[in-house]
Amino acid sequence: MTGAPCIAPGLSLAAMTRFPLTGRLRLRTLAGVFPVALLPTLAMAQTCALTEEFQGPAVPAGWDIGPDVERLDANGAGTGEFVPAWRVGTSTEANAGGYFPVPERPVDNRFIMANDDASPCDCDLDSARLTTPPIDLSTAEHTLLTFRYYMDGAYGGDSAWVELSLDGNTWMRVADLAAGNDWQRASVDLASADGASAARLRFHWTDRGAWASGLALDDVCVRGRAAHDVALEQLAFGSLHSSPFNSTDAGLDPAEVPVTQSGSPTISVVVRNRGHLPLFGTHAAVDLALNGGPLGTWYSDTLDVLAPDAADTLLVHTGWTPSGPGSLTASATVLTGGSEDNPGDEGASVERRLTAAGWADGDGSYAQRTGPTLGGLDAGGAGYLAGCRYEFPAEGQVHGMGVRFDAGTQAGARIIGRLLNPDLQPIASTDTIVVTDADVQTGLAWGWTFLPFDTLVEVAAGTDVLALMEQVPDSGMVRLASGGEVRPGTAMMRELGSAAWTYPLRAPLVKLHLSPVAVAVPETSSELGLRLRQDITKLIITAPWVIGQVRVLDPAGRIVHVEGARGPAAEVGLGGLAPGAYLLEVTGGSHRATARFVHSR
């Protein structure tokens, strides 16, 4: 990943000051669930002679972390207690002491680190060495080492290097690492190790004999290289050249987009030269298909030259505008003007759902991420705002918001849906909604709760809006579900008692609806199981009991429609209702249930 994005024009700098997640904010992830990545993980044709991602709970077998190191007291004197110099952990564990802020990229990532700050150190880390297992390079040519590392260099901890040994005894220094404020990707030419049957690498970091921060390492790969090998490394809808912090620069990659807001899709194709010679004439071809039907092929600009191990992002502007909903697939292939010595990693596909009015077409859903719940966030019962940014290339009308609750949400807690502009000024708010047990159960089944606006919210073309759920303070715990990974700045969160916004890497599951929604938000009710389906002309109601009467009440509590029924289903004609939010009351015998719905002509 590249450096952290800056806040750009179009956002309020004072309100959007970037701070790490602190205080009572809690994030939960589900063990054993693979995250939905911001960009797909693509197969690589060339395999690594050594590969390690440090995703297990302990130091991998065969890796030598050197001798234990002595803990020091506040005066720098030895305590007589010895602890391991290296351990595997997370960003939260790395920064437990507050002075080794390893960015969490990708989300839920684990890595190996020498950490002089967090417990159990401050330690004597004057010579922290991490050595790989023996690496068989007997058939390798043009060997290359790649890895990611984080070293901010704080408090004198800015010295790290890599050593190579062909026999396990004699070591030579092959690379020095520079400090930086984010994860960095390093590549080291190890052609001198070609043919070695038991080469080893050693990563070395020093705190220079004093307290410092640390060194984190991840994604180690040692591999041979062919002459010509281009790879498609990442693929996404939207422009990866844009910043999610810049509300004037469109380019986000939502999972669901209303047809009216889709515009002409742009596809980002990240290519890398995995060979040892320069590549000439590198470009990308993208085929689009809607619901399986081919739409055409579009091409990127051509790179004159791509240096060995270099990467670049190609943009494919399709110029095609959708006219209907469905599954939009972009299939990309990267090509060069020469030969390909390791075929198999030049292509990939991504999908996006185009939505429209009607339940079958998603009720005009506009969602940064959908799919399974992969985590949850809350503020420990305190009030907070959380949600995502949405781009409106065309004018639109927002009928309401959808939210998903995670385990731990308490029935009776109160929430409000809010729309803000990029300067954090209010555009619209829903009524205060009381969370029901049905809402919680719906969320646990990966369903959504609809929060209607009393009147349609008009959004001008070229405008961004922030769709946020607010938990009313001291009303009970609300854990907002989160889904797949997004770029920093796409999602945001703020505790109501703080001025600082944070930027989760998992999208809070808060979406917009640009069409009437068929699924209602239940009010407090003695009966669960009421189901609604809504189209332009009528509302269809079903219940697990015999319905006797249906009443429709407007926001002032006036009865505007009464419908009799004699069965488990009833229909309410909507032709005589003005657009707006209504309360539905359904009774039958001793049963009574209520729900909200929004009608739009």
User: Could you tell me the domains of the chain?
Assistant: 47-223 (2.60.120.200), 230-361 (2.60.40.10), 369-513 (2.60.120), 521-599 (2.60.40.3080)
Computed over every residue of the chain, the mean pLDDT equals 87
If phi > 0 it is left, if psi is from -120 to 50 it is alpha, else beta; for residue 408 that is left
Return the ∠ at Cα 421 (arms to 418 and 422), rounded to 5°.
125
Q: What is the mean pLDDT of residues 5-14?
A: 30
Percent of the chain's residues with pLDDT above 70: 89
pLDDT tens-digit series, residues 142-200: 999 999 999 999 888 889 999 999 999 999 999 999 999 999 999 999 999 999 999 99
pLDDT grade for 227, boundaries at 50, 70 and 90: very high
pLDDT grade for 126, boundaries at 50, 70 and 90: confident
* Cα dihedral across residues 581, 263, 510, 535: positive or negative: positive
What gap in Å lies between CA 559 and CA 572, rounded to an integer? 13
Q: Which pLDDT score is estimated for 478? A: 97
* Cα dihedral across residues 415, 421, 425, 428: positive or negative: negative
Q: What are phi and psi of 374, to 5 degrees?
A: -115, -5
291 to each of 209, 326, 344, 366, 539, how far by Cα in Å?
63, 6, 26, 19, 29
**Span between the terminal Cα atoms of the chain, in Å:** 46
What gap in Å lies between CA 259 and CA 244, rounded to an integer? 21
- Judged by average pLDDT, the poorest of 17-21, 194-198, 430-434, 435-439 is 17-21
Q: Which residues contact 135 (CB under 8 A, 6 or more apart)?
A: 49, 50, 193, 196, 198, 199, 200, 201, 222
**pTM to 2 decimals?**
0.77
